[in-house]
Amino acid sequence: MTSDEAGRLKGRRVLVTGAARGIGYAIAEAALEAGAAVAILDRDEAGLTEAASSLGAKGRDPLTTVVADVSSHEALAGAKRELEARFGTVDTLINNAGIAYNAPAEEMSVAEWDRMIQINLSGVFYCTQLFAAPMLAAGRGAVVSIASMSGLIVNRPQPQVAYNVAKAGVIMLTKSLAAEWAPRGVRVNAVAPGYINTSLIQGFLGTDTMRDYWVGGTPLGRLGEPAEVAAAVVFLASDAASFVTGETLVADGGYSLW
């Protein structure tokens, strides 16, 4: 196998969660370009339909879509049955679905805390537990989850304790599952992005926070692009990373160096 072949996903059946926009959309696009059959999952049905149409308009094969909220184990179990009937079993899972919001710790409501942990951490576990089951049975597969540099550092100036804790949990979940499943042929890794140019931060463009903290604190001096995160995900999912498991690849432009 050549190095180019090892870095591709030809013949893989990939599921990307939270793929209606942003990083998830870019990952789905990169997986298609790498030769995979791709299914996308999101709770936003309209956004999911639009994403599939947009990818199809670029000459890709029609994507399989499934609507589900990753915070509900029951909904995901139903989505798994639906997906297997229409798409087949998944051998590569990309856990991207997540939310972000800021609130001072002393003011954060119980509902806000619970929602963050349920979607950003429990949702990753639910998806992995369900969709990796056929991989374990087959003795091969790959899981890549989107963590964050915020799981490794407390970035400034925004108060985001729940987000930081959830993403730190994703990193430890990655390590724990990798250790359990390595003998059974399933690799589990994560990517920890820094500040990426998505709609989530578009409203901050031109602000002091963006200039002084986010871009100003990044050694490379710019935001990352979704496609750059997607490239890291494809690498970890591919046979080019066949001896890599339990790792978190930090893609933050050097932000966490300081």
Position 65 in a domain: yes
Position 256 in a domain: no
Token pair, residue 243, equals 């001896």
Residues of the chain with pLDDT under 70: 1-4, 6-7, 58-62
Integer-rounded Cα radius of gyration of the chain? 18
Distance between first and last Cα of the chain: 39
Note if 163 is an active site residue: yes
The residues facing 166 across adjacent strands are none
Tokens 């939270």, located at residue: 18
CATH code of the domain covering residue 173:
3.40.50.720
SS3 123: helix
173-201 residue pLDDT tens: 999 999 999 999 999 999 999 999 998 88
Token pair, residue 31, equals 């997986």
Token pair, residue 185, equals 């042929």
Q: Find the Cα–Cα–Cα–Cα dihedral 19, 148, 93, 36, rounded to 10°.
A: 60
From 163, 195, 213, 255, the catalytic residue: 163
| Inter-axis angle of helices 22-33 and 45-57, nearest 10 | 40
Which helix (H) or strand (E) segment is 152 a member of?
none
pLDDT attached to residue 200: 80
Position 255 in a domain: no
pLDDT attached to residue 106: 96
Residue type for position 92: T
pLDDT attached to residue 202: 81
pLDDT attached to residue 6: 65
Dihedral sign computed on CA atoms, order 9, 12, 14, 20: positive
Position 166 in a domain: yes
d(CA 72, CA 63): 23
The residues facing 15 across adjacent strands are 39, 93
d(CA 190, CA 188): 7
pTM: 0.95
Task: Give the number of domains in the chain.
Answer: 1
Position 110 in a domain: yes
d(CA 170, CA 192): 10
Residue 167 domain boundaries? 3-250
